[in-house]
Structure 1
Amino acid sequence: MSGPHQGGPGGALRRDRFAFGPLEEGEALVEPILGSWEANIDHALTRSPIDVCSSRGEDAVVLGNLGVVRVLKVNASGREVEVREGDLCLLMPFGKLDRFGYAELAYAYDAPRTIGLLARRSKLDARLLLPVPDGTTYSLPQWAAYGRYFTAWDNWRKAYGCWRTQIADDDPANHLVFGWGGGVAFAELMLAKRAGFRVAMTAGSDERVAFLREHGITAVDRRRFPSLSQPTPQERTDRERHRQRRTSVQEFQQLVRELSDGHGVAIFVDNIGEPLYDVTLGSLAREGVVTTCGWKAGMRLNHLRGAESIARHIHVNTHVWRLPDSPGIRDFQEAEGWMAPQGSDVVYDFDQVPELADDYANGRIGSYFPMYRVNPL
Structure 2
Amino acid sequence: MITTEAWVLHAGPAGAESGNPVPGELVLEDFSFPDIAEDEVLVEPLYGSWEANMSHALERAPVDVCRQRGEDRMVIGNFGVVRVVRPGKAVTRVKEGDLCLMQAFARTDDHGYVKLVHAYDAPGTIGVLARRTKIGERLLLPLPESTRYSLQQWAASYGRYWTAWDNWKVAYACWRSQVRVSPADMDPPPLAFGWGGGVAVAELELAQRAGFRAAMASGNPQRLAEIEAKGMIPVDRRLFPDLDHDEDRMAADPDYRQRYRQSERTFLKIVNELSGRRGAAVIIDNIGKPVHRATLRALGRQGVLATVGWKHGMRLENIRANECIKRHIHVHTHACCFHDIEEILEFQEGSGWMLELGDQRVYRFDEIPVLARDYAEGNLDSYFPLFRINQD
Task: State the TM-score, normalized to the length of structure 1.
Answer: 0.95
**Corresponding position of 1:209:** 224
**In the alignment, is residue 337 of structure 1 matched against residue 352 of structure 2?**
yes
Equivalent of 2:58, from 45, 63, 72?
A: 45
| Distance in 2 between residues matched to 1:256 and 1:280, nearest whole Å | 10
**Corresponding position of 2:131:** 120
**Corresponding position of 1:142:** 153
**In the alignment, is residue 243 of structure 1 matched against residue 251 of structure 2?**
no
5+ residue gaps, structure 2, are: 1-8, 14-20
**Corresponding position of 1:326:** 341
Say which SS state the counterpart of residue 27 (structure 2) adopts. Answer: coil
| Distance in 1 between residues matched to 2:170 and 2:266, nearest whole Å | 30
Say which SS state the counterpart of residue 136 (structure 1) adopts. Answer: coil
2:202 maps to amino acid: A
5+ residue gaps, structure 1, are: none
Q: Tell me the CA shift for residue 18 of structure 1.
A: 1.3
Runs of 4+ with >4 A deviation: 8-11, 232-236
Say which SS state the counterpart of residue 369 (structure 1) adopts. Answer: coil
Equivalent of 1:286, from 290, 294, 301?
A: 301
| Distance in 1 between residues matched to 2:337 and 2:146, nearest whole Å | 26
Equivalent of 1:160, from 166, 172, 182?
A: 172
Q: Tell me the CA shift for residue 374 of structure 1.
A: 0.5
**Corresponding position of 1:27:** 40
**Corresponding position of 1:15:** 28
| Distance in 2 between residues matched to 1:49 and 1:265, nearest whole Å | 31
Q: Is the 8 A contact 2:23 2:59 kept in 1?
A: no
Q: Is the 8 A contact 2:360 2:382 kept in 1?
A: yes
Q: Residue 68 and residue 289 in structure 1: after superposition, are their counterparts in 2 closer, same or farther (change >3 A)? A: same
**Corresponding position of 1:2:** 10
Q: Is the 8 A contact 2:283 2:305 kept in 1?
A: yes
| Distance in 2 between residues matched to 1:280 and 1:56, nearest whole Å | 36
Q: Tell me the CA shift for residue 298 of structure 1.
A: 1.4
| Distance in 2 between residues matched to 1:254 and 1:219, nearest whole Å | 15
**In the alignment, is residue 61 of structure 1 matched against residue 69 of structure 2?**
no
Deviations 1:283-322 (A, max 9, x none): 1000000001111111111111111111100010000111
| Distance in 2 between residues matched to 1:121 and 1:55, nearest whole Å | 24
Q: Residue 14 and residue 266 in structure 1: after superposition, are their counterparts in 2 closer, same or farther (change >3 A)? A: same
| Distance in 2 between residues matched to 1:286 and 1:132, nearest whole Å | 42
Cα-Cα RMSD: 1.7
Q: Tell me the CA shift for residue 275 of structure 1.
A: 1.2
Q: Is the 8 A contact 2:218 2:236 kept in 1?
A: yes
Percent identity of equivalent pairs: 50
Q: Tell me the CA shift for residue 233 of structure 1.
A: 6.2
**Corresponding position of 1:313:** 328
Moved more, 208-217 or 223-232: 223-232
Q: Residue 124 and residue 282 in structure 1: after superposition, are their counterparts in 2 closer, same or farther (change >3 A)? A: same
| Distance in 1 between residues matched to 2:87 and 2:247, nearest whole Å | 51
2:103 maps to amino acid: M
**In the alignment, is residue 177 of structure 1 matched against residue 192 of structure 2?**
yes
Task: State the TM-score, normalized to the length of structure 2.
Answer: 0.92
Q: Is the 8 A contact 1:34 1:69 kept in 2?
A: yes
| Distance in 1 between residues matched to 2:121 and 2:196, nearest whole Å | 26
Q: Residue 364 and residue 314 in structure 1: after superposition, are their counterparts in 2 closer, same or farther (change >3 A)? A: same
| Distance in 2 between residues matched to 1:217 and 1:67, nearest whole Å | 28
| Distance in 2 between residues matched to 1:345 and 1:183, nearest whole Å | 14
| Distance in 2 between residues matched to 1:345 and 1:185, nearest whole Å | 19
Moved more, 165-174 or 214-223: 165-174
| Distance in 1 between residues matched to 2:282 and 2:270, nearest whole Å | 16
Deviations 1:225-279 (A, max 9, x none): 1001114867863211111010000010001000000000101000111111111
**In the alignment, is residue 106 of structure 1 matched against residue 121 of structure 2?**
no
| Distance in 1 between residues matched to 2:230 and 2:315, nearest whole Å | 33
Aligned length: 373
**In the alignment, is residue 258 of structure 1 matched against residue 273 of structure 2?**
yes
Q: Is the 8 A contact 1:64 1:117 kept in 2?
A: yes
Bigger relative contact order, structure 1 or 2, given CA contacts below 8 A and separation 6+?
A: 1
**Corresponding position of 1:352:** 367
**In the alignment, is residue 85 of structure 1 matched against residue 87 of structure 2?**
no
**Corresponding position of 2:4:** none
